[in-house]
Structure 1
Amino acid sequence: MLIVLGIVIGALLFYSEAATVSPLTADVFFLYMLPPIILDAGYFMPNRLFFDHLGTILVFAVIGTIWNCLTIGISLYAVSLTGLFGVEISVLHIFLFSALISAVDPVAVLAVFEEIQVEEVLYILVFGESLLNDGVTVVLYHLFEGYSEIGEENIIAQDLASGVLSFLLVALGGTLIGIIWGFLTAFVTRWTNHVRVIEPIFVFVMAYLAYLNAEIFHFSGILA
């Protein structure tokens, strides 16, 4: 229903002479649309449950996502060797595609979970995994994108090692920046108890600054 609603509104705007619609570019999406979505998911997350089951969530989000990416990539590469695709596709481009589709979107599942009131641990495992999965898939995508630019025939063992290190650096760097901005926000809002009307502004602005700060250093803005 949401997809149909989007198509209807998009068609009305597209064919309406009164409205001018700016094209949706990657910059518009990543700089203006994605941060509020991620902030909403993180802000309303049940913190205690999340950290109580952080180990399991990390297994699903990190190891599970890498496993998905590798198995999808290897399977597609095996199919490409049979010639069923009709075109020759580079193994790096196949893994780039597999990283792209390894992202999960459990919105419908979580909506059903809320409706039938499932056990809280199951809910937080799916919710937490989906939240961290986005950051991991973005890092994997950029990793294979970098390998594609180098070229399959030019990759050496040093490039593979630096890729693994950059994966850890981007993920941990984004998380660290998020922690720093979290402390800064907590510190600033300590002094606003008499003017609470401005506190939502700090929450929005400083969360957005955390996202931009991570992107400036090429870390994961989603994890931040």
Structure 2
Amino acid sequence: MLRDHLLLVVPLLFGVTLLTILSNKIRVSYPILLVISGLIISVIPGVPNIFLDPDLVFLVFLPPLLYAAAWNTIWKNFWQSRRPIFLLAFGLVIATSATVAYVSNSIIPNFSLAYGFLLGGIISPTDAIAATSVLGNSKIPKRVVTILEGESLLNDASGLVVFRVALAAILGGQFFILKAGQSFLIVATLGIVIGLAIAGVIYLIHRFFPTTPSIDSAITLISPYIMYLTAEHFHFSGVLAVVCGGLFLSYHSQQIFSFETRLQLVGLWETLVYLLNGLVFILIGLQLPHIVNGLEGYSLGQATMYAAIISLVSVVIRIVWVYPGAYLPIYLSKRIRRKERVPPWRNVLLVAWSGMRGVVSLASALAIPLTLSSGEAFPHRNLILYITFVVILVTLVLQGLGLKPLIRLLKIKDDSKDDQKVQGIELRVRLAEAVLNYLDTNYGEEIQKQETFKRVRDRYERMIDIAKRNLDSDQATEATLNFLPKYRKMLVELVHLRRRELNLMSHNGEFSEELIRERLLELDLEEARLKH
């Protein structure tokens, strides 16, 4: 059994890697290419049907992916954008679920509101990785990125809560909106409490127990599973537990981790997230035969018509929701007007169009039980699964492919780019001034007597002089703003030069190999510092 799984997973991971290389070459977002590739592979004769177990997604893939997304979230930016994030992550999810419920109830025979809310809860959450990877290196406003990432970080939880409440109502035979709302609040709130409580314990372990970078990394990898499984065990939101716990520990990471641990975790999480995401997206595409074969009771054309209508509804309701959500609070509240500028309509349209769905939606649909409590087959299960698959394809592939052309058409750009460069120079000046004060206070005598100490001080003094000269003018020129990147580029080139020399020395056997490896590691760390 294990051998069979390895024979499946290893080629898929290798294929994911090759397809990602291809996506970089043709400049198509890798989730889109992986889903399309999975679709193509799935229809090749002789390829076995691969079933995506929802437990695999919820228990293996989802916790680390959510935790990594929370860990990389800048809390300050997240909190500053909390109003639009919460309006999208909770308000839009509920609005989408309700709209889909009533539309599906109207167009699909014998499809009750409870089933409609079940479908709405499944397809309402957007996918964090899909949006950010599709946007890629596009130079768009950072606030837009923060809103999209924050939304997708939280709406998995709200969508899953709607799904769970609707499913419980179907299995219980009754559906009351008020009771569903109460259940939503309880499940979400206690999920947050559990996540923060576990994060607090983990914080204490990292902070006060004698750990090593390897131990810290191991605890960090295990943490999302502990949070998720604990919350789910008590039937609360495991997603919110992981997200809130991850945000808490990320905020305190400078206090609890050494620099060795932080460096180790960066590479570890980047690799893990890349492999998990790649595997998930190609598995989505591979589900097509299984889903179509299970479509009993409906013709393919009929099911596709329903799916197309629901897909259109999910796209339109997002656009309809986003514009009032962006402007009404500003126009209605003086306090908000004082704090925030009116967002450009182009940025709002970009947020409205970035509603790609992903693996959480598919896993939720697959998690619908095969039978009701009475033992009867679960009504409309296969149709819901097919509609979900089509919504993912429409939003991920069609909207995803249209995202970059839309950015170019609307001429959206990051207006804060120059300001960021100026702030970067000012930040370096402040740091250099702090260094000079420290050196003068603690090493004044050594600086006076020893040339080596004096050179260190002179280096920081020159850095301040150059930066201040560039910032003195009222309007910084492009050359001024770019002097640090050019300087950094030169330093990187010098690192490459030294690395080539070391490799040549290693080839010629001129020096100890251990010594050369130590110097190569130093150069790797130096280059990493220069590039980040």
TM-score when normalising by structure 1: 0.81
Q: Which residue of 2 aligns with 1:141?
A: 163
Q: In structure 1, what residue type is equivalent to 2:185?
A: L
Q: In the alignment, which of 9, 13, 35 is matched to residue 63 of structure 2?
A: 35
Q: Which residue of 2 aligns with 1:59?
A: 87
**Is the contact made by 2:198 and 2:227 (CA closer than 8 Å) also made in structure 1?**
yes
- Partners of 1:71 and 1:123 lie apart in 2 by 26
- Partners of 1:178 and 1:184 lie apart in 2 by 10
- Partners of 2:231 and 2:171 lie apart in 1 by 23
Identity, % of aligned pairs? 26
- Partners of 1:212 and 1:148 lie apart in 2 by 24
CA drift at 1:8: 6.8
CA drift at 1:77: 2.3
**Is the contact made by 1:170 and 1:218 (CA closer than 8 Å) also made in structure 2?**
yes
Q: How does 1:16-31 map to 2 (within 5 A)?
A: 24-31=52-59
**Is the contact made by 1:65 and 1:133 (CA closer than 8 Å) also made in structure 2?**
yes
CA drift at 1:177: 1.1
**Is the contact made by 1:96 and 1:145 (CA closer than 8 Å) also made in structure 2?**
yes
Q: Which residue of 1 aligns with 2:103?
A: 75
Q: Which residue of 1 aligns with 2:232?
A: 215
Q: Summarize the Cα distance change of 1:45–1:143 in structure 2 as closer, same or farther, 3 Å threshold.
A: same
1:103 aligns with 2:125: yes
Q: Summarize the Cα distance change of 1:172–1:2 in structure 2 as closer, same or farther, 3 Å threshold.
A: same
- Partners of 1:117 and 1:124 lie apart in 2 by 13
Residue by residue over 1:101-130, the C-alpha shift from the partner in whole angstroms, topping out at 9 and shown as x without a partner, is 112125343224341221111111111001
Q: Summarize the Cα distance change of 1:212–1:113 in structure 2 as closer, same or farther, 3 Å threshold.
A: same
Q: Which residue of 2 aligns with 1:203?
A: 220
- Partners of 1:145 and 1:129 lie apart in 2 by 24
- Partners of 2:43 and 2:205 lie apart in 1 by 45
Q: Which residue of 2 aligns with 1:172?
A: 189
CA drift at 1:160: 4.1
Q: Which residue of 1 aligns with 2:150?
A: 128
Q: In the alignment, which of 101, 111, 122 is matched to residue 89 of structure 1?
A: 111
- Partners of 2:199 and 2:136 lie apart in 1 by 28
Q: Which residue of 1 aligns with 2:139?
A: 117
- Partners of 1:184 and 1:215 lie apart in 2 by 18
1:45 aligns with 2:87: no
- Give the aligned length: 208
Moved more, 176-185 or 112-121: 112-121
**Is the contact made by 1:192 and 1:199 (CA closer than 8 Å) also made in structure 2?**
no
Q: Summarize the Cα distance change of 1:179–1:49 in structure 2 as closer, same or farther, 3 Å threshold.
A: same
Moved more, 123-132 or 181-190: 181-190
Q: Which residue of 1 aligns with 2:490?
A: none
Q: In structure 2, what residue type is equivalent to 1:204?
A: L
Q: Which residue of 2 aligns with 1:182?
A: 199
Q: Which residue of 1 aligns with 2:34?
A: 2
CA drift at 1:23: 5.1
CA drift at 1:223: 0.8
Q: In structure 2, what residue type is equivalent to 1:176?
A: V
Q: Which residue of 1 aligns with 2:413?
A: none
CA drift at 1:206: 2.1
- Partners of 1:191 and 1:223 lie apart in 2 by 26
- Partners of 1:130 and 1:163 lie apart in 2 by 22
Runs (4+) of structure 1 moved beyond 6 Å? 8-12
Give the CA RMSD over aligned residues: 2.6
Q: Summarize the Cα distance change of 1:89–1:23 in structure 2 as closer, same or farther, 3 Å threshold.
A: closer
**Is the contact made by 1:181 and 1:207 (CA closer than 8 Å) also made in structure 2?**
no
Residue by residue over 1:76-109, the C-alpha shift from the partner in whole angstroms, topping out at 9 and shown as x without a partner, is 223x2xxxx4x33222212211221112125343
**Is the contact made by 2:161 and 2:184 (CA closer than 8 Å) also made in structure 1?**
yes
CA drift at 1:217: 0.7
Q: Summarize the Cα distance change of 1:59–1:193 in structure 2 as closer, same or farther, 3 Å threshold.
A: farther
TM-score when normalising by structure 2: 0.36
- Partners of 1:31 and 1:105 lie apart in 2 by 17
Q: In structure 2, what residue type is equivalent to 1:214?
A: A
- Partners of 1:194 and 1:203 lie apart in 2 by 12
**Is the contact made by 1:178 and 1:223 (CA closer than 8 Å) also made in structure 2?**
yes
Gaps of 5+ in 2: 1-32, 242-532
